[in-house]
Amino acid sequence: MAEVYSIAKARRSSCPICKKPSVADYRPFCSPRCKTLDLGQWLSGGYRLPTEEVPEEAELEAILQERTEDET
């Protein structure tokens, strides 16, 4: 039952950060903040920075803006 439930939940596309319903503008997230938080997890998880320090939120937003500009 747990598996069926998680699949159904994924199809509804809730925010992977806080589980609120996703907003079209920020899909699959619910807000720019959750999008930034997810990028932070991605950076610390798969794309290690040369330092051990966790990036400041302002730095993450700058990176996120660069990415957005590239995509448009």
- Select from 10, 18, 54, 62 the one that contacts Zn ion (CB under 5 A): 18
Which residues neighbour 30 within 8 Å (Cβ) at sequence distance 6 or greater?
14, 15, 17, 18, 20, 21, 22, 23
The verdict on 34 binding Zn ion (CB under 5 A) reads: yes
CB atoms within 10 A of CB 39: 18
Read off the amino acid at residue 42: W
The verdict on 30 binding Zn ion (CB under 5 A) reads: yes
- What is the closest distance, in whole angstroms, from the C-beta atom of residue 35 to Zn ion in the complex? 8
Tell me how many residues contact Zn ion (CB under 5 A).
6
Chain positions contacting Zn ion, by CB under 5 A? 15, 17-18, 20, 30, 34
